[in-house]
């Protein structure tokens, strides 16, 4: 917002608070007057008619002020707001002076109500205006007492008896000077408070402008909302993403009805108060004309000193280009892998024929080289197969053949196959079936076999000789439960959050085994999720071993098993 718009907003909010405070003051004074009249300790000069008149006039002018300030900010000029503030103060002073007059004049104790307009001036205006106000109040009060003393206006006694104050020049001067001096002293205090408020406001403005400058310089869209989902701030990139081109648009008017249907999910994500971890980051697709826009909305909570959330920062990112690059990369990998797999398969069988002596007798050195070539060629083929699997998963082209199968049968096969490699590495496999007749899972047998084979192979590969790899198959909470525990190299705390990322391999895994694509666990997680299962792990750190857990829900008809 421009500076004038900010000042308007400040004046409007301040005046709204002042009007509410005036309602409380009117009700409070009216209530006191009624109670005094009921209990018989009323002010004799304040008749029911005068009390009613003062209350009605106060209600009417405060109602007018309330209606005026509710107008659209764009329809109110800053100059008009300042004049409005002056009018409020002047009207308040006149009404309070009338209250003082009708409650005894020099005998009245209601001069303290002058504190209300003093508070208003302190909030709305500067120190100079406070000085003018103080002298104006002194003139009003002193003038009232002078008019009353000189009998230009009649004196309305506060008490049923003669208090001995009115008509006594010494008491009149003493009371008037005391009250005038009190008003001036309070005005000096008001000036001090006013300056402190302005200094604090200036500091807050400087800090706010620093933050705003940083936010405006970011390429990400930033939207700040409070706990009631009211919009507090929107930076220029966010305005551009939301197609808000009118800077005069009210900040809090970000309502779904103001946006096209295609933008509704984005607005919902911005206004959402996250309750779950998964709601802290969302990816959305916006159908904009003939194109698709991919948006990511991240929610960052802002907390106070007692750890309560007081607002949210929503970070908007247009990730369309990233998605397009990922798509191009996936397509390139898919094409390249397909093109490479055919000649590599040919090489594989060529090496096999030569190693088997079908092309002639080989000496020991030639046999060794061909065996190495055959192994390396197989490793490259495995990497290419992993790349193709990833490409299919990301493009949604992976074919799943779901069928009810017993997970125990798959584990039996995987463990039996892995025992050959385990024996070569001098690693023992401890396979435990905690329960019998565990209900089947609706699964793609080949893909789940790939998952368990990959995890068990890694457990054997990274375990030291004479170690034990433990495989447990159980049934818990209507789910098939599998844990694979090794005593291997473990996973460092710093790298644990990346372990399921594409192409990621832990640093100690690279040191132990240079070969590997870093795709196995990424593929495993995608396959398990496709089966509506969960996969996670625990590791205390490097060289502390790792436990992988996989749960898979049973078929619907076995839920009451």
Query: In this structure, what token pair is assigned to residue 174?
Result: 């003493």
HSE, CB side, 13 Å, CA atoms: give it for residue 80.
11
Query: In this structure, what token pair is assigned to residue 335?
Result: 């094409």
- State which of 178, 211, 244 marks the end of a domain: 211
Query: In this structure, what token pair is assigned to residue 62?
Result: 């405060």
- Same-domain check for residues 224 and 350: no
The residue among 500, 467, 502, 501 whose CA lies nearest residue 485 is 467
- Same-domain check for residues 436 and 526: yes
- CA–CA distance, 305 with 178 (Å, rounded to integer): 45
- State the distance between the two ends of the chain, measured CA to CA, in whole angstroms: 63
- Same-domain check for residues 178 and 35: yes
Exposed e or buried b per residue across 514-549, where buried means at least 16 C-beta atoms within 10 angstroms of its C-beta: eebbbbbbbbbbbbbebbebebebebeeeeebbbbe
- Same-domain check for residues 134 and 231: no
Residue 223 DSSP SS3: strand
Helices (H) and strands (E) in the chain, counts: 14, 12
- Same-domain check for residues 240 and 371: no
For the packed helices 3-39 and 48-69, what is the interaxial angle rounded to 10 degrees? 160
- State which of 156, 177, 211 marks the end of a domain: 211
Residue-wise DSSP of 376-405 = HHHHHHHHHHHHHHHHHHHHT------EEE
CATH number for position 476: 3.30.565.10
In sequence order, what are the residues at sequence separation of 6 or more whose Cβ sits closer than 8 angstroms to the Cβ of residue 461? 421, 425, 488, 512, 513
- Same-domain check for residues 456 and 515: yes
Tell me what pLDDT residue 251 has: 46
CATH number for position 363: 1.10.287
Query: In this structure, what token pair is assigned to residue 129?
Result: 């205006």
- State which of 188, 211, 234 marks the end of a domain: 211
Residue by residue, pLDDT tens for the chain (561 residues) are 455 677 777 888 888 899 999 999 999 888 887 887 777 665 656 778 888 888 899 999 999 998 888 877 677 787 888 888 899 999 999 999 988 888 888 888 888 899 999 999 998 888 888 999 999 999 999 999 999 888 899 888 776 666 667 778 888 889 889 999 999 999 999 999 989 988 888 888 888 788 878 888 888 999 988 888 888 888 888 888 888 765 544 444 555 566 777 788 888 888 888 887 777 888 888 887 677 888 999 999 988 888 889 889 999 999 988 888 877 777 777 777 667 777 877 777 777 777 777 777 778 888 888 788 877 777 777 777 777 777 777 666 678 888 998 999 999 999 998 998 888 889 999 999 888 788 889 999 988 998 999 899 889 988 889 899 999 999 988 899 999 999 888 888 888 888 888 777 787 777 766 566 778 888 889 899 989 999 999 988 888 889 999 999 887 666 654
Integer CA distances (angstroms), 357 to 285, 377, 458, in order? 59, 18, 33
- Same-domain check for residues 417 and 448: yes
Integer CA distances (angstroms), 280 to 113, 272, 283, in order? 51, 10, 10
Tell me what pLDDT residue 559 has: 61
- CA–CA distance, 6 with 201 (Å, rounded to integer): 13
Do 328 and 347 touch, CB atoms closer than 8 A? no
- Same-domain check for residues 439 and 506: yes
Do 187 and 131 touch, CB atoms closer than 8 A? yes
- Same-domain check for residues 198 and 339: no
Residue 439 phi/psi, 5-degree rounding, is: -60, 155
**Pairing outcome for strands 441-443 and 428-433:** unpaired
Q: Quote the domain boundaries for residue 297.
A: 218-318
CATH number for position 262: 3.30.450.20
Do 223 and 243 touch, CB atoms closer than 8 A? no
Domain count, the chain: 4
- Same-domain check for residues 272 and 145: no
- Same-domain check for residues 333 and 294: no
- Same-domain check for residues 150 and 265: no
């Amino acid at each position: 917002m421009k500076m004038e718009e900010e000042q308007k907003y400040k004046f409007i909010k301040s005046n709204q608070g002042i009007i509410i405070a005036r309602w409380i003051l009117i009700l409070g004074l009216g209530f006191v007057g009624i109670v005094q009249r009921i209990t018989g300790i009323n002010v004799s000069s304040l008749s029911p008619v005068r009390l009613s008149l003062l209350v009605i006039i106060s209600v009417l002018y405060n109602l007018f002020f309330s209606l005026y300030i509710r107008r659209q900010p764009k329809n109110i000029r800053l100059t008009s707001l300042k004049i409005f503030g002056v009018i409020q103060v002047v009207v308040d002073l006149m009404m309070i002076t009338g209250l003082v007059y009708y409650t005894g004049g020099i005998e009245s104790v209601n001069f303290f109500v002058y504190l209300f307009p003093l508070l208003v001036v302190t909030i709305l205006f500067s120190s100079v205006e406070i000085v003018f106000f103080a002298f104006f109040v002194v003139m009003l009060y002193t003038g009232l007492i002078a008019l009353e003393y000189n009998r230009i206006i009649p004196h309305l006694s506060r008490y049923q008896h003669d208090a001995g104050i009115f008509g006594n020049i010494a008491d009149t001067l003493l009371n008037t000077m005391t009250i005038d001096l009190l008003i001036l002293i309070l005005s000096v205090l008001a000036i001090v408070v006013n300056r402190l408020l302005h200094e604090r406001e200036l500091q807050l403005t400087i800090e706010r402008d620093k933050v705003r400058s940083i936010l405006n310089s970011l390429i990400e869209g930033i939207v700040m909302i409070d706990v009631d989902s009211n919009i507090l701030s929107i930076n220029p990139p966010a305005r551009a993403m939301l197609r808000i081109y009118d800077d005069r648009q009210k900040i809090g008017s970000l309502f779904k009805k103001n946006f096209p249907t295609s933008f509704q999910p984005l607005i919902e994500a911005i206004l959402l108060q996250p309750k779950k971890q998964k709601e802290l980051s969302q990816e959305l697709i916006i159908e904009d004309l003939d194109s698709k826009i991919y948006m990511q909305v991240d929610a960052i909570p802002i907390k106070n000193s007692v750890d309560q959330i007081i607002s949210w920062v929503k970070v908007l990112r247009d990730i369309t280009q990233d998605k397009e690059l990922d798509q191009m990369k996936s397509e390139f990998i898919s094409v390249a892998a397909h093109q490479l797999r055919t000649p590599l398969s040919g090489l594989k069988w060529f090496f096999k024929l030569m190693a088997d002596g079908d092309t002639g007798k080989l000496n020991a050195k030639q046999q060794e080289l061909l065996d190495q070539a055959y192994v390396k060629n197989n490793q490259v083929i495995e990497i290419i197969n992993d790349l193709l699997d990833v490409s299919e998963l990301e493009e949604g082209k992976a074919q799943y053949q779901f069928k009810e199968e017993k997970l125990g049968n798959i584990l039996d096969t995987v463990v039996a196959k892995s025992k050959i490699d385990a024996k070569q590495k001098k690693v023992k496999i401890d396979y435990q079936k905690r329960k019998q007749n565990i209900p089947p899972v609706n699964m793609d047998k080949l893909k789940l076999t790939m998952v368990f084979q990959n995890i068990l192979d890694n457990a054997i590969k990274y375990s030291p000789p004479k170690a034990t790899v433990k495989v447990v198959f159980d049934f818990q909470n209507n789910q098939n439960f599998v844990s694979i525990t090794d005593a291997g190299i473990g996973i460092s705390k710093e790298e644990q959050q990346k372990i399921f990322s594409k192409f990621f391999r832990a640093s100690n895994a690279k040191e132990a085994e240079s070969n590997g694509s870093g795709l196995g666990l990424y593929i495993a997680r995608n396959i398990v999720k496709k089966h509506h299962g969960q996969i996670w792990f625990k590791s205390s750190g490097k060289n502390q071993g790792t436990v992988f857990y996989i749960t898979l829900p049973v078929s619907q008809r076995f839920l009451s098993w």
